[in-house]
Amino acid sequence: MDSILDAMTGGTPVKTDISTMGTTEKQVQRFADGSINIVKIEGAVAPPKGQVSTQGVGGCTASGFRRDNCSIDGWFTGVRLGFNATFVYGTGTGRILAYSNPVVTCINGITCSDPVFSMVRKQQSGSLRADLGMYTLYSFIGVGGTNTTYLHLYVKDHSAYTN
């Protein structure tokens, strides 16, 4: 008979170990039924002087609370996503006005689909941030299976940031 393991139900672990290696944090949760949940979180690496950040919002032309033609960029396990965006921010007024120039780059050994934009929320609504996503489907050559990677631009109150 199939049964659901504690690690799959969001139950409380009996033990949690956290370790860090470089910019990656690994969390291992052990449950009473013997099941294990492992989560690895890759942190952003500081760019060399004069280089672009691995993830972020930059290169904008500023006018008051408006930011024009910003470069939105993210690097996710062999897949780079990027686009340009124009937005405004301020207390309760985060809004994405325009977006263009989608780019996807995959390292050798990975194939990627054309990037697709997905507007989640064009304007901030109370505590809910404006949210523009872009995604690509990617596969490791010779391995099979398809994965999805997203890059999001979030605009809320006085900040704009990526995932």
Show Cβ contacts of residue 94 under 8 Å, excluding neighbours closer than 6 positions: 87, 88, 123, 124, 129, 130, 155, 156, 157, 160
Residue boundaries of the structural domains of the chain: 6-42, 56-162
Question: Which backbone phi and psi does 100 adopt, to 5 degrees?
Answer: -165, 180
pLDDT for res 47: 47
pLDDT for res 102: 95
pTM for the model stands at: 0.65
CATH code of 56-162, in short, is: 2.60.40.3860
Show Cβ contacts of residue 23 under 8 Å, excluding neighbours closer than 6 positions: 42, 43, 44, 45
- Tell me the pLDDT tens digit for each residue of 104-118: 999 989 999 999 999
Q: Is 78 left (phi over 0), alpha (psi -120 to 50) or beta?
A: left
CB 28 within 8 A of CB 14: no
The average pLDDT across 41-57 equals 53
Show Cβ contacts of residue 108 under 8 Å, excluding neighbours closer than 6 positions: none
Which of the residue ranges 31-40, 108-117, 131-140, 152-161 would you say has the lowest mean pLDDT? 31-40
Strand runs (DSSP E) across 1-107, as ranges? 15-21, 24-30, 36-42, 56-58, 61-63, 66-76, 79-88, 95-106
The average pLDDT across 4-17 equals 70
Mean pLDDT over the full length of the chain: 81
CB 70 within 8 A of CB 58: yes
Per-residue tokens: 54:
């691995």
SS3 8: helix
CB 75 within 8 A of CB 47: no
Which of the residue ranges 48-52, 86-90, 92-96, 130-134 would you say has the lowest mean pLDDT? 48-52
In the chain, which ranges are continuous DSSP H helix? 6-9
